[in-house]
Structure 1
Amino acid sequence: MKHIQKAALSAGLLLALCSGCGAQQSASDKGAEKNSVNQEIKTSVDKMEDILTKLNESVKKQDRKGIQQKGKELNSYWLSFENKIRGDYPFEYTDIEKHLQPIYTEAQKDKPDTEKIKSESVSLTASLEELTGAEKSSKKASDQLKKAADDYKTYVKKQSDQLVKSAEAFTDAVKAGDIDKAKSLYPQARVYYERIEPIAESLGTLDPRIDARENDVEEGDKWTGFHKLEKALWKDNKITGEKETAAVLLKDVKELDGSIASLKLTPEQIVAGAMELLNEAGISKITGEEERYSRIDLTDLAANVEGSKAVYETVKSALVKDHSDVTEKLDTEFSEFEVLMSKYKTGDHSYTSYDKLSKDQIREISTKLTALSETMSKIADVL
């Protein structure tokens, strides 16, 4: 009996030891698998960095054909292995996309912004290096969306800070009676406001005070804001009596900036705001009714789309794993819209005057906006 027990014990011990060997082997396999994945990522990153270097060599030589070719090659190579990154490394993935997409978009333009390509290349290289040492994400979509709301609030605050600065410069020119300077500064201030317009609209009477057009003002109410000064500058060509309007506008802009800290934003709210921006751009601003005196309607419209894209980029990490079809479509549509608008760009914040556009050109822009709006609505459906 003792011999049987001893034999059984020995067999049990052997089985346990074998099980341990199996466990050790399994852990070893996992380590090998991880190393294999990391090495595959490293190899892909090295290839992308090599293409990026050659792209910047083309930029340095001002080789338009080379810029376009290497821009396409960079994007194509990323597409060949992004599926292996998207689900396990959503934050690293979206960070890479945030810098790669502008590079690709600029490279396809007739007149690419080479300084932007160089700047985004530095950021893209840093993002690629982050990927090589990244751990697989265990964050839930809900955690990612909460971070998205926080990130968007940071974006809004940066835009608002710039709005205050640009509005101050603009209103100072108005107060000084310098019509030409005020006209040149007006579009820049409008850009920062239009990017975050839904936020202003959520803060009571601030939006109508800042952005109302003459026909928007209720009888008995006082007309203030950007468009009152726009009319004085471009239609009346007289701003000597607009010092108070300028002062009130700057006061309201500063109040908007001061209100942002206490804002509580949800992912649903910010996506709804992005859809609202696109809808407004596609329905009303494309008709030319927004900037009826200055005719800088394309400046406003482009800023609306930029603000919507900022929302999309913050929520993208929560969508890429299960809704990559939507994110890939939006990447394409935002890029195509930016390339289209580049045809009309005449400066940092200036575009072809709206009254110089043909009906076909307006229709083409409108079609792109409609497509963007429809695809953005799909994000709201899956949140």
Structure 2
Amino acid sequence: MTTSARSTAGLDRTVRFGDVSYDFHVRHGHGAWHDMGQRFARLDADRFVVVADTGVPAGLVAETEAHLSALAPVHLLPVQAAETEKNLVALDRIAERALRGGITRRSVVVALGGGLVGNLAGLLAALVFRGVRLVHMPTTLLAMSDSVLSLKQAVNSRCGKNHLGTFHAPALVWNHLDFLKSLPADEIRSALCELVKNVLGIVPERFDETARLLRPDARYTPDALISFIELCLDAKTSVMREDATEKQQALVLEYGHTVGHAAELLSEGRLRHGYAIGLGMLAAARVSGELGLLDRSDEAAHHVLLTRNGAPTTLPDGLDPDALLGIVRLDNKRGYVAARPGSCDLILLEGLGRPHRPGGGMITQVDEDVLRTGIESVLAARPALVRA
């Protein structure tokens, strides 16, 4: 559940997942930095260890450092936000720098960047001294509306995405919309693919509103961005209220991620995360259609929202279906149900807002030839589906 307050300056929430809670704030405009200083002062930290994305504009990093250094010493750890750096080798390198820099049990790790940096910093905070406090300062819309609304912290293995990790709650999430001003439109559109997922999988009653608000040019007012963040917060808390570790009903949040993660990994940086998830949802919807679970109108709804968002509906050239299947076989959802040779585990819908739940669980075992059909449906352009 959440308790909330909206103001002209932003949004304030107390987020609760199971028995874990943390404060979540969104701010923009004048006064945001002063308010941030007051919130961070309450942490009474002896040091702020700031894991900062090298892609964040230097001026914003410097301003963040200046405000934090008024409260306690700041140790800045720049990291490259690349999937090739989201691994245990990079984490060990960051941990060594933090330890040699004087991190203690009273210190606070601050994640300044997008979801990838948030995962690195989150896992660092979870592991150093078996757990120190973590604060997220997300600098991307995807992180603000998705990755910080989770307790999961993970890095990649050589076999796939997010194989190595644990759960660690932040003490605070501070979102400053001014960070989004420097982002390219592509990054905003990519982020909103996760919002599309939440609408299709959890809150279909928000479909018409979302379709009306989405813009292919990705030009949004602060109020619109706050509305998007709040929608994602509402959707995620509705399924995580009693499933904080996302292993039961909250697995619906993995919709589109099985094929999406495989495509993202195989694209080697050519495909943004949200775009990959959008394509993964299209593949999953086609699989549901092949299995007789999803009607053409609901499948078309996927295309409607993604197209309104200006997101791609076909995979980049050169992604081989066999290679995608090879990565899908190693997906991190394996083991929720007993393995069946020649099949892959997917989250599927049987209607908008209605996950398919065979045997009461969230995992559907799909024959690889059916999954291949889903993958091939997003390999090349095909006639658009029309929603009835």
Tell me the TM-score normalised to structure 2 length.
Answer: 0.28
Indicate the structure (1 or 2) with the bigger Cα radius of gyration: 1
Larger RCO, structures 1/2 (Cα 8 Å, 6+ apart): 1
Normalized per residue, which structure has more helix?
A: 1
Tell me the TM-score normalised to structure 1 length.
Answer: 0.28
Normalized per residue, which structure has more strand?
A: 2
